[in-house]
Structure 1
Amino acid sequence: MNKYLLLLMTFSFSLTSIQAKVINVTAIGKSAKGQFVAIEEFGYQVGNTRPYSKIRLVNMWKDKYVSGPIHILGTEDDISLEKIRKKAFDQALIKFKKYGLNF
């Protein structure tokens, strides 16, 4: 009985130290033939409330990323996730223009 109690206590303490990272991933644009797809990952960083947005371009035919991601991380002044996402989206429009994406 004592072993089960000790195991239960250890398990309950370990659950309190686990931090959940909740992220959202969505496709935000694609090329006409479907070769290139822009994917956005957004949410809040673990351990604080700083919003972030990361947009990547994937070549679906080659199954690999094209160039580096656009990564916008909020500061204390940028508390709105929507503002961070808009800023990343605006940069993606410029950076990925040559791939003919339809957003």
Structure 2
Amino acid sequence: MAFPVDPDSWEWSHTLFRTEPSPQDLRSGDPCQVSIPETLVRVIDIAHYDPPADLGRLPRPHTMLVVLPVNHPTDPLQEDEGATIEIGSAAPIVIELMHQAE
């Protein structure tokens, strides 16, 4: 995965992943921790694939959420906005419903 180094960039606002230390402080070969800090997000799309989607990597995802942080501006929402979370992946992700739109 590539990480943007400019916190003001479009790419920075479209990924949930962060590194410790931050990317601008890392050099080639440095160790770092990659994680998704606790983040309140809004689900903007749900994709379900049966059979699982062939995206060129394994395991193939069967359900993916497209999310945006709740403080992200959405007017107008662009087609490619949002971060993707694969449900059922090996990543230890905890999801808790905070509010459901009517």
Asked if Structure 1 and Structure 2 have the same fold, meaning a TM-score greater than 0.5 normalized by the shorter chain, the answer is: no
| Greater relative CO, 1 or 2 (CA 8 Å, sep 6+) | 1
TM-score bracket, normalised by the shorter chain, equals under 0.3
TM-score of the pair, normalised by structure 1: 0.25
Whichever of the two has the greater Rg, that structure is: 1
Q: Which has the higher strand share?
A: 1
